[in-house]
Structure 1
Amino acid sequence: MYYQLLSFIPFPLSIPPIPSHPIPSHHQIFSSPKQIHPKILSPLPLPLMAFSILCIFIFLTFSTTPSLSDPRATQAALICTNTSAQPSDRQVFVANFLAAIDAVTPLVSAQYYGGAINGSGNTTVYAFGECMKDLSRSDCDLCFAQIKTQILRCLPFQRLIRGGRLFYDGCYLRYDDYMFFNESLSGLDRTVCGSSGFVGGNETLFRENVGDLVRNLSLEGVNNGRFAVGSVSRGNLTVYGLAQCWEFVNGSDCEKCLGDAEVKIGSCLAEQEGRVLNSGCYMRYSTQKFYYNSTSGGQPGHGGNHLAVILASTAAAVAFLLIVAAISFFVWIKLAKKRRERKQLGALLFTVNNSKLNFSYETLEKATNYFHQSNKLGQGGSGSVYKGILPDGHTVAIKRLFFNTTQWVDHFFNEVNLISDIHHKNLAKLLGCSITGPESLLVYEFVANQSLNDHLFVKKNVLQPLNWEVWNLYRLRRLCEVVDPNLEGKFEEEEANRLLQVGLLCVQASAELRPSMSNVVKMLKDEHHEIPQPTQPPFLNSSSVSAEISSRDQSETYHSRPQSYTQSSGNGISESFIEPR
């Protein structure tokens, strides 16, 4: 149904184009006999636009009477290509797309078809639209107003998809990145069969009727100005059909397209209706009459109630523009984020974005259910640790650092890059980090069950627990005596001494005295790198040294270890905190 207007709207309308990017100078419109160029008006504020739309619909509701109409604005198929424009061309491509669609609209309204070309090079947009020739002018405008809003489902703004075609039963709209106006067939052509099988009659006769109908449509469509409708009745069975070639498809190509459609539609003969949607033509049959159904007056070329059409088209156009505005807003947010990252990372941006160590903040945030308390594994001196599940299903431990690294992001990322290469059974592997969000995050492998204290200090089989006797042995130059006896002396003493001495440096009481991880890596990898002397823990004295060494020499058994307490969670992982005696 559509509404026939009885009176006059008492206020003017101004419809803004969104976004307001400059339109490229290369602009071609296919129209005859007069060329119509798109016109840019000053944008209205969003609240005023919304108020105008509300006034239109209130006015239409109370000031109109209904009359029967059938714009056939039902989707037959939406086909989107898999090619996209370069992100760097986003602004120009979107501007060209909008200009091309806007240019086609008045041409279709004036003459039932129209084509336009906007832009140059890789951002050129070719657009074409056409209504079925049996529609009244008002039905054509209504159908095309709706199809323009739905072509956006091909995501030309979000994903910069460069081609899409949308078939309605009353009109057609396509945009692409090449000149397709006279194309008859393509690899994206479709055959769409109905979902209701033929019942209640002679199936053989039905098939014969459909066959005769589409054969006649194919012949008449070529000879009758690229358009034909008709029906075939035999017995108690009647089938109705329509065939139309698009305006720029010439005679021989139209014949080729409709001939192809006649063959393809044979696959639908078990159903009550079927359609062939080719690049250059459209064909449909049905057991129900679907053409020339308008009783609103104004058959093709005879005008009609233009004001009602304008209002309906305006409402659809405003809806289209609001969709564009919403999409543009989200695109703006994404671009603003990228600008912030460029400002924050500078020359490091390319390295970070192409590194396997880089995780987006949004991905890690979702992996932890936005750092929900139920996913918290524990808390240490530098941050809280959460369990997270990445999109690929891998479980990780994500640490939220209490300090932010934005002031020294290059140093932080280089440290992460260096440490991630370290592999040790007693170290949770560092998988990467996030440095582009509002806080700094580290991503570790998830080690289920037990704590680091359990792995290092709890006796398992014949393994001996470690304690501060290590320092005492270091002073006596007997550091290798703490090496696991299961090795039976099969190790390099000098290497063992270096590893243990580095370990003592890392557990010094003063954090300022401990080496950075980059220096630790250098000391472990470079045997010529000088290792500083560690300082004595403040809670040890000479008497404890003598007592523990004597005890060990007598029994060869460890009798003491530092106290510890463990904070754990139901997720099965914990952090241990060592206290001095």
Structure 2
Amino acid sequence: MHPSTSYSESRKWVAVLIFVIRCLPFCRSDPRISEAGLFCGDLRVSPNSSYIPLFVKEMEVLSQLVTAHDWARYVVNSTNISIFSLAQCYGDLSHNDCLQCYAASRTRLPRCLPSVAGRIFLDGCFLRYDDYKFYNESVDPVRDKLNCNSTIEGVDSGGVDLDFGKKVEELVDGVANSAAAGGGHAAAEVRGVFGLAECWKTVSVDGCKTCLGKASEEVKTCFPSKEGRALNAGCYLRYSTHKFFSNPADEKRHGSGVSRVGKSMAIAWSAIAFCMLSLFACYAAYARWNKRKQERNNLGQISFSYNKSNLQFKYEILEKATNYFDPSRKLGQGGAGSVYRGTLSNGKTVAVKRLLFSTRQWVDEFFNEVNLISGIEHKNLVKLLGCSIEGPESLLVYEFVPRGSLDQYLFTRNRIKILNWKERHNIIVGTAEGIAFLHGGCEFRIIHRDIKSSNVLLDENLDPKVADFGLVRCFAADQTHLSTGIAGTLGYMAPEYLVKGQLTEKVDVYSFGVLVLEIVCGRKNNSVKEDFGSLIQTVWKLYKAHRLTDSVDPCLEGHFPALETSKLLKTGLLCVQASATLRPSMSEVVRMLTDENHDIPEPNQPPFLSTSTVSSGSARSSYSFTSNAVRKFEEFDPSTDSFGMLSSSEQLESEELTQKQVQGFHDSNTEARS
């Protein structure tokens, strides 16, 4: 049985059952869960306190007591913390309606947290918690409230009905006096006006009288409103022009007149409903058992092929290799998980990634993709050695690259090493060759989608290896690409991908172009330079002014070949052009970088972005950027070299216009992930 078929069939049975139950003539109920008032205290608990677990415990015990008695009070104590609570359903409510009303109040009251006090009045029940013993409290001059309906009686007929005021006064006084003298609950009607009064069971007789006396005087001021409610510390009082309460005496009288035919129908419908519910439960249990049986069979087949594979790593071996994921062995943290250095029993050093999104549901796809990626070998790609899928979490095992990531050599205050020009050129060329191999050198074309300096690792010879091209997501049979699961990093993503989701190899080309400019200039792509703006703006302005070499990292102290530097920067500008069709392929980029005689075309203007909103790297500004960028990029036209409202002229004056059209695109930092 296919799970989706089972699910759809289950929904049909549920719909039938709900229809039948709704047709039952005896299923009339109103738990009165409309919210009359929610009031929270001003004092808040300490963020590090154990208040929330105690509150949860308090509500659980209170639920049990309400289930047994329709009202409850309870106190939970801990070190320096006490929580007092009270719950009560109004006297006319049936037991089932009471439980529904309490459940609704318990769901809504936590909106007051982390306040140490809160009270909620529903039209059928009351729930309160506080940090002091309030049980005998009848009135509270500060927190007692009045809730008057905005609809006015008599307005429809041309004026306020003065007789209605007399009815309200007579009703309110009568129901308040009856409740105070008759156990704390009363409900009554006076010539079409209905009222209910309720005192909490913890309040004394005198306290109930005091509370309802105050409530009756207050609620009279709601006239000429059709409804009024007094929400006091020790009681609740309401009047309305429609009957909202249940009358047990009336129900008893009406019940005695029910015909034998009616009783027989009620019994018959109950039996039918019970049978249908039983059948549905049996069907659902069978469907669930059958689904689990299929999953076990599938998992067994996967485990069999996995155990025969040379990609298998036992979880216990990897756990021991990393010294049980010792924090001192942590190499870094990525979007998919954290990476640790491990040493296998044969002395080989590996990098072990703990995946954050590990679930059994995707184990089949996961193993197949590892099997595919592990077959990709290139000197400029980090080798995937295998995985572990049978432990409490899934692990990936990569070759260990000893010199760390490229960003540690470019942007950190205390750089590991100042890279000379030859080393930088070698890193750029090697990275380009690795990406070109992903795009066309293996069986499948793979789009990385997260090319950046932290995903370029350096080996002992400072040769680059592209990492985190990770697990591919297999497209349908009629599609020609594979794509990694990583969504990318703001600031490195191409405009057409960021806005319209258009994913081609040119997305990686754009990211690579940003990386080239970063390596040559020694600046992060989102850093701002006075009088120039962002990195791409800086390089473009200097290119138009024929001063490209002025953008080179000052740490090189002029030790670089000017002609070769200009070619690299022009190549980077070609890669970051706004139009994807104008960007070169990675194979063409490799030829530009390695063939001295290869002509490099003149680049068109890239998508300049305003720096007015670039922050110092706060995550908040980076997150707010996303929606702003999507809005601004709606005017982007891939068929041109820039944006819809930007003229084709490449004069520097056009930059200001461009900035206004796409303000915010580079308002990102490399730490914010989409």
Identify the TM-score tier after normalising by the shorter chain.
0.3 to 0.5
- Relative contact order, CA 8 A, sep 6+: which one is greater? 1
- Tell which structure's C-alpha radius of gyration is larger: 1
- What is the TM-score with the length of structure 2 in the denominator? 0.40
- What is the TM-score with the length of structure 1 in the denominator? 0.45
